[in-house]
């Protein structure tokens, strides 16, 4: 399994603003495994759970779906 690295300031802001269920994520508990153009892949420091955090938020994902449907 990949170890992951400490997130940068910009990545911490993205992680802190991401709300997967009913709570926001604490950036201090997550390590960055991959920094892809459209998403961050994170691993929890203790539980080792892996999540995918989209960059740009949900609104960008909705616009991308609408644009792809038109073509």
| Residue 71 pLDDT exceeds 80 | no
| Residue 2 pLDDT exceeds 90 | no
d(CA 41, CA 31): 9
Contacts of 26 (CB under 8 A, 6+ apart): 16
- Write the CA distances from 28 to 61, 65, 66, 69, integer angstroms: 26, 32, 35, 38
Question: What is the model's pTM?
Answer: 0.72
Q: How many CA atoms does the CB half-sphere of 18 hold within 13 Å?
A: 22
> Model confidence over 7-45: pLDDT tens digits?
999 999 999 999 888 889 999 999 999 999 999 999 999
pLDDT of residue 1: 60
Both tokens of residue 10? 């910009």
8 touches 24 (CB < 8 A): no
| Residue 6 pLDDT exceeds 90 | yes
pLDDT of residue 60: 42
């Amino acid at each position: 399994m990949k170890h992951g690295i400490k997130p940068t300031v910009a990545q911490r802001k993205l992680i802190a603003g991401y709300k997967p269920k009913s709570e926001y994520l604490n950036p201090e508990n997550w390590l960055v495994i991959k920094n892809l153009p459209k998403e961050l892949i994170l691993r929890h420091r203790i539980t080792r759970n892996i999540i995918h955090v989209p960059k740009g938020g949900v609104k960008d994902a909705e616009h991308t779906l609408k644009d792809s449907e038109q073509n």
